[in-house]
Structure 1
Amino acid sequence: MGGGGWLRLLLSLGHLWAPGLRERVLGTLGKATRLRIPLELQQLSLSFGEATWKRDTGDPRRKEVLLRYAGGRPHNYLQGRAQFHSRDFSLELLNTSRQDGQLYEYATSRGQQEEVWQIQLEVYEPVSQPSIEVLSRAPANGSCSLTLNCSARGDSVSYGWACTPPGLCTPPGLCSPRGSLLHLSYPQHNSSLSCSCRATNPVSSLRVSFSASSCAQEPAGRQQQDPCLTPPEDSVGHTIYSQVQRPEKQRGLPPAKLPSCTTIYAAATGQPLATALPPRSPSKEPTTVYASVMLPKA
């Protein structure tokens, strides 16, 4: 390259690397991060034959030298922690740590001429798999009101929500996300609502989904059946009577009309003891065990 060509190249580089101009690079905690320089600076390094990678130490009077390149041979001061790629003069940090988040400087020179490229490395922990928690759920005026909270670990995490079908919320403004929280109001009879939360930071993004099946909470406990009713044909029941007693006839009073059934339940589920039950038949008829039967007094 002639003298005029070198002059034009140096002038263009001087405009490109103006004072205070630096590149911003994002690194992922625990992963490799590669610091690159522009093509023009690579060509200049090949011509000059010398280059240096440095980084700040926090002390304005000192810089840490990471690598020196001279005579076509690199000298790596970060053996096992960084790798130099002579093809493009890039420096690769093999296992990025938080301490690596510094200002890096690449300089190439020949004699009194030096060109510098600065890189500000920012290190982030990637987001973990997010989760959705139901903070509140309540029916009101034919609608269901929900408050969901999305959470994930990581640095500088932001959250975004999306629900389908889009026009389900009534009015649509009630599908209102506020950061990790989402407030919903939708028709109580509609169970097709599905929402997804995306957790994002500068180096990663993950999503989790939530489907609304019912607004009301499932009732606690178990329901009791009227013993006078016939169980459905497709059910197999075991009924244990704690006490069955006829009402006592009092002297001098007309006989009272006996109720059709007087039953107190002790339990409605569970496998009865083998000693108290005959072998179970393959039919679906209920099995009844009497704990005690009291006869009326004479």
Structure 2
Amino acid sequence: MGSGAWLRLLLALGALWGIGAREKVLGTLGKATLLRIPRQLQERTLDFGEASWKRSTEEPQKKKFLLKFSGGNYTEFEPGRMRFHTLDFSLEILNTSRGDGQLYEYSVSKGPEEEVWQVQLEVFEPVANPSIRILHQELSNGSCSLTLLCTSERGDEVSYSWDSRDNGTWEICSGNGSFLNLSYSLWSAGFGCVCTARNPVSSRDVAFDSSQCGSEQPGDPGLRTELLVLLAGLGAVVIVIVVMVAFRATHLAKRDQDPSWPVPDLSQVTPASTSPTIYAQVQRVQKPKGTVPNATSSSCATIYTVATGPPPAPDGAPWSPAGSPTPQGHPPLSQEPTTVYASVTLPVA
């Protein structure tokens, strides 16, 4: 019995039992999906001239019409999402979504007869590019022991398998599942293990090079990074201190070498830090021959000297030694200098 006879038998049994022959189609999320019908059913459509595409709904008793074909003309009920191909009567879903994962039915009828073909659509998200992480690493006696984990961030019903990139190391890299345990000598030739992530609609792979097993443990790079950050911070502090010291030294050197550097004005010193000037008048008397010197006609000379005495009282009254006695002839150090006027008469020979 040929394949066409078997198809007719299946269609007849489906019509008798109220169900049609079923085919499973895998759709990729976000891509176009084509729902086809068998060649024999295409010929029946040309003979009978009446056909339709329907889809099941959440209610088992109801079905939704997607397309009706009659006398060479057709009507699309979802033109933005579906496309009908008159060449082979297939139905194309332009942008497959998860909600499109339903049971679809193509039926051909003429008069009281009807033949049904059912298509079960299953939608899968494709896998993303996988990545490999080192979960455990141990170095001992020149050998490396690793535990690898292969994962993909996206994808429905993802499965993982390991294989060798080179034929000579097939046994080392062979495995199923996300995890792979490796143990090999560091002096052996380099090799690569390939992890493949796949699901019913896609497949992606990534390779691991044996040279990635170094002298560092998996946790060491993070600790080393923290140490480097700490050392960098300390180095920055030291640099700032060195710059400040160098700047201050340069500043002082310029001040000592530059004669135009501003010199403090001694005139701004407070009077309390200096001693006042004492004016003394000295009279030099010229005695004329045979006459008595006259003091009023004598000339005077000015002598400058310094003396100290008790400061005046705060209220301007004359100072009295009764309140604060001091040894005779030794005024207190805190007393300010005062002005004394004296007149001295010098005889002239």
Q: Which TM bucket (shorter chain)? A: 0.5 to 0.7
Equivalent residue for 2:196? 198
Residues 211-250 of structure 1 aligned to structure 2 (within 5 Å): 211-213=209-211, 214-217=213-216
- Partners of 1:176 and 1:183 within 8 A in 2: no
Residues 41-52 of structure 1 aligned to structure 2 (within 5 Å): 41-52=41-52
Hey, what's the Cα distance between the residues in 1 that align with 2:239 and 2:196?
Answer: 47
- CA spacing shift, 1:192–1:274, aligned 2, 3 Å: farther
- The code of the aligned residue for 1:161 comes to W
Pick the structure with greater CA Rg: 2
- CA spacing shift, 1:15–1:221, aligned 2, 3 Å: closer
Structure 1 residue matching 2:145: 3-state secondary structure:
strand
- CA spacing shift, 1:221–1:73, aligned 2, 3 Å: closer
Hey, what's the Cα distance between the residues in 2 that align with 1:131 and 1:9?
Answer: 46
The C-alpha deviation readout for 1:157-213, integer Å capped at 9, x for no partner, is 1111112445558xx4x6452401111111122361211111111111111111122
The structure with more helix, counted as a fraction of residues: 2
Return the offset for 1:154. Answer: 0.2
Hey, what's the Cα distance between the residues in 1 that align with 2:194 and 2:6?
Answer: 49
Return the offset for 1:271. Answer: 9.5
Return the offset for 1:143. Answer: 2.1
Residues 32-111 of structure 1 aligned to structure 2 (within 5 Å): 32-111=32-111
- Partners of 1:175 and 1:185 within 8 A in 2: no
- Partners of 1:37 and 1:89 within 8 A in 2: yes
The structure with more strand, counted as a fraction of residues: 1
CA RMSD, Structure 1 to Structure 2 (Å) = 3.0
Using the aligned pairs only, state the percent identity.
50
Structure 2 residue matching 1:195: 3-state secondary structure:
strand
Residues 64-213 of structure 1 aligned to structure 2 (within 5 Å): 64-152=64-152, 153-168=154-169, 172=171, 175=173, 177-190=175-188, 192-213=190-211
Structure 2 residue matching 1:87: 3-state secondary structure:
coil
- The code of the aligned residue for 1:184 comes to L
Hey, what's the Cα distance between the residues in 1 that align with 2:167 and 2:3?
Answer: 55
| Larger RCO, structures 1/2 (Cα 8 Å, 6+ apart) | 1
Query: Of 9, 26, 44, which aligns to 1:15?
Result: 9
Question: Where in structure 1 are there 5+ consecutive unaligned residues?
Answer: 1-7, 223-265, 278-298
Hey, what's the Cα distance between the residues in 1 that align with 2:168 and 2:123?
Answer: 40
Hey, what's the Cα distance between the residues in 2 that align with 1:192 and 1:143?
Answer: 13
Hey, what's the Cα distance between the residues in 1 that align with 2:50 and 2:199?
Answer: 38
- Partners of 1:139 and 1:188 within 8 A in 2: no
Structure 2 residue matching 1:22: 3-state secondary structure:
strand
- Partners of 1:143 and 1:187 within 8 A in 2: yes
TM-score with structure 1 setting the length: 0.66
- CA spacing shift, 1:108–1:120, aligned 2, 3 Å: same
- The code of the aligned residue for 1:157 comes to V
- Partners of 2:50 and 2:70 within 8 A in 1: yes
Equivalent residue for 2:24? 24
- The code of the aligned residue for 2:124 comes to Y
- Partners of 1:164 and 1:194 within 8 A in 2: yes
- CA spacing shift, 1:167–1:144, aligned 2, 3 Å: farther
The C-alpha deviation readout for 1:140-164, integer Å capped at 9, x for no partner, is 3442111111111201111111124
- CA spacing shift, 1:10–1:163, aligned 2, 3 Å: closer
TM-score with structure 2 setting the length: 0.57
Hey, what's the Cα distance between the residues in 2 that align with 1:163 and 1:184?
Answer: 12
The C-alpha deviation readout for 1:258-284, integer Å capped at 9, x for no partner, is xxxxxxxx97xx99989999xxxxxxx
Structure 2 residue matching 1:99: 3-state secondary structure:
helix
Q: Aligned pair count?
A: 222
- The code of the aligned residue for 1:192 comes to G
- CA spacing shift, 1:58–1:185, aligned 2, 3 Å: same
